[in-house]
Amino acid sequence: MPDIVLTTLNARYAHAAFGLRYLMVNLGELRDRAAIVEFDLTRRSVDVVEAILALQPRIVGFGVYIWNVHELTLVVAQLKRLRPDITIVLGGPEVSYDTTGLAIVDEADYVIAGEADLAFAEICRKLLAGDRPLIRRIEAATPDLNDLALPYDLYTDEDIAHRVVYVEASRGCPFSCEFCLSSLDVPVRAFPLEPFLAAMQRLLDRGLKQFKFVDRTFNLDLRVSRAILDFFLQRQRPGLFLHFEMIPDRFPPVLRELVQAFAPGTLQFEVGIQTFNEDIAQRISRRQDNAKVEENLRFLRDKTQVHVHADLIVGLPGEDVAGFAAGFDRLVALRPQEIQVGMLKRLRGTPIARHDEVWQMIYSPHSPYEILQNSAIDFPTMQRLRRFARYWDLIANSGRFHRTLPRLWDEGSPFARFMDLSDWLYAASGRTHAIALPRLTMLVRQFLLEIQGISAQTVDDSLDADGLRQFIAGGQPRPTVAPSSRASRQQRHRD
């Protein structure tokens, strides 16, 4: 039985806990006395407690995040009541900064704030030796990345075959955007390149095809980003998929040349636009050259096979609906395959809180701490925008209505027309989740016919081109689409 259990609740099974693997591999001589046990949010808290207790650990380390803090609070509370002798150690972004009023912290024995890769091993050594630290909150020293063991060999064959495998070539962020926890990080630090690439080669050799880089600014250090892209370019194979988070206004010629060489379906770039309003950007300490952003997005769409996922935020202090709409329409015109419309969150410890009084920012007190209203957008309107975001993901980002959706706005405002559709869908269905594709198809068709006044022939031809005719009364499925094979989200945007 392990003395140390490392555990967390992942958002879903397909997500592997990257942080736990770092803690495990850096336990040193304690590694053989530890075990990783992962759960997901579908598991009941009492079942999680049962599984942990069955291992009879002396120390349990929990990774606490915005998506699991509520459920983990229940787990920790039950665990301490059943076995108060077990030492509970918390870590992760949700407990690293402002923990005011956070019940899980009161239940635990210790909290490690910051990067706990080495600090967790240190406290475990003390606890197992009978030396209990007197201070409950431990501020972890920022580790030298040269001193860290890399965790990639801890991914199992099951992980490689069925789960998202996270990797990172760097940590930190050079920017100070006030809504983001990365604004609190120390400057960017890169892992030693040769050991990192050797670890990537071992993953490739084991059959891994999908790599999700969690670096906040992958293209900041061009020496590193060029080397990594060139490494994968030389090893292109069917099914290889690489996700990077990129700085949207930084694509110099040397990077463009590399990106152009990748095959379709290989690269996905997440580019955080957040806002095109320069006054709002300045207010939240965000630096961005919008002209460069537009130039780079046009390049990615016109000259490469990159799948572009762009982010915009609703609810930034002082940005009203008209301002957000202008930014949304501007982004739609640049044709990224996906636009993630996110609601502003007041993450614990972030400087965005300094705007609360002036802009009357009101957030949910519970995770994920989303904006409820502010002086520029009242609560009913914020709810409409929340539904807008959900329907946009269902209809536009899914790629299922790739050819039908542009019929909605023609030469008009995409935001205005899609908001009309969003309001109508909610009135017609009363829900934003659990809408089956056949039902959604019929609703979209009805709106285009009855509200937009588009001809049935035009609408049905578009739906047929999207492979959706089988969901129209009397329609037949396209013979080229096999019922047993469903194209990926990215592929649907390319078809």
Q: pLDDT for 35-65, tens place per residue?
A: 999 999 999 999 999 999 999 999 999 999 9
Which of 132, 127, 155, 153 lies closest to 30, judged by CA?
127
Q: Residue 77: how many CB atoms within 10 A of its CB?
A: 18
| Extended strands (E) in 49-205 | 59-63, 87-91, 110-113, 137-139, 165-167, 170-171, 189-190
- d(CA 219, CA 249) in angstroms, rounded, equals 10
Instruction: Report pLDDT for 244.
Output: 97
Q: Give the residue-averaged pLDDT of 322-349.
A: 96
Q: Is the pLDDT of residue 494 over 80?
A: no
The number of domains in the chain is 3
Kindly state whether residue 390 falls inside one of the protein's structural domains.
Answer: no
Query: Do 131 and 43 sit in the same domain of this protein?
Result: yes
- 119 pLDDT exceeds 50? yes
Q: Tell me the chain's radius of gyration from C-alpha atoms.
A: 24
Residue bearing tokens 């990159």: 306
Same domain assignment for residues 349 and 450: no
For 470, phi then psi, to 5°, come to -65, -15
Claim to verify: residue 311 and residue 425 sit in the same structural domain: no
Please indicate, yes or no, whether residues 331 and 430 belong to a single structural domain of this protein.
no
Query: In angstroms, rounded to a whole number, what is the distance separating the alpha carbons of residues 40 and 303?
Result: 40
| 48 shares a domain with 175 | no
What is the pLDDT at residue 480?
Answer: 42
Do 403 and 373 sit in the same domain of this protein? no
Kindly state whether residue 410 falls inside one of the protein's structural domains: yes
The helix/strand/coil state of 391 is helix
DSSP state of 231: H
Alpha helices by DSSP H, 63-139: 69-82, 103-107, 119-128
Do 172 and 312 lie in one domain? The reply is yes
Q: Is residue 394 in a domain?
A: no
137/178 same-domain check = no
Structure tokens at 198: 């050797």
Same domain, 239 and 362: yes
CA 478 to chain centre: 34
Which helix (H) or strand (E) is 40 found in, with range? strand 34-40
How far is 138 from 91, CA to CA, in rounded Å?
10
pLDDT tens-digit series, residues 374-385: 999 999 999 999
Q: Which domain holds residue 195?
A: 164-377
The Cα-based distances of 358 to 317, 361, 376 in angstroms read 9, 8, 11
In a shared domain, residues 370 and 428:
no
Is position 44 within any domain?
A: yes
What CATH number does residue 111 fall under? Answer: 3.40.50.280
Q: Looking at residue 181, what is its pLDDT? A: 85
In the DSSP assignment, the letter for residue 84 is T
Question: Cβ(152)–Cβ(203) under 8 Å?
Answer: yes
Query: 109, 143, 177: which is the final residue of a domain?
Result: 143
Q: How many CB atoms lie within 10 A of CB 421?
A: 23
385 lies in some domain: no
User: Could you tell me the end-to-end alpha-carbon distance of the chain, in angstroms, rounded to an integer?
Assistant: 52
- Position 389 in a domain: no
Q: Are residues 208 and 250 in the same domain?
A: yes
Q: Looking at the domain assignment, is residue 313 inside a domain?
A: yes
User: Residue 301 above 60 pLDDT?
Assistant: yes
Question: Helix 222-233 and helix 193-205: axis angle, to 10°?
Answer: 20
pLDDT grade for 493, boundaries at 50, 70 and 90: confident
pLDDT, tens digit (0-9, with 9 covering 90-100), for 398-438: 999 999 999 999 888 999 999 999 999 999 999 999 999 99
Pairing of strands 371-373, 362-363: antiparallel
With H, G, I as helix, E, B as strand and everything else as coil, classify residue 318.
coil
Q: Average pLDDT, whole number, for the chain?
A: 93
Contact criterion met (CB below 8 Å) for 316 and 332: no
Alpha helices in 315-378 (DSSP H): 321-333
CA dist 309 and 330 (Å) reads 15
pLDDT tens-digit readout, 164-216: 999 999 999 888 899 998 877 767 899 999 999 999 999 999 999 999 999 99
- The CATH number covering residue 272 comes to 3.80.30.20
**pLDDT at site 174:** 86
Domain end (from 112, 143, 174): 143
Is 50 exceeded by the pLDDT of residue 487?
Answer: no
Q: Say how far apart CA 445 and CA 442 lie, in whole Å.
A: 5
Is pLDDT above 50 for 481? Answer: no
Buried b (16+ CB within 10 A) or exposed e, 312-348: bbbbbbbbebebbbebbbbbbebebbbbbbebbbbbb
Q: Tell me, what DSSP letter sits at residue 142?
A: P
Say if 221 falls within a structural domain: yes
CA distance 128 to 29: 12
What is the model's pLDDT at position 495? 63
328 and 433 housed in the same domain: no
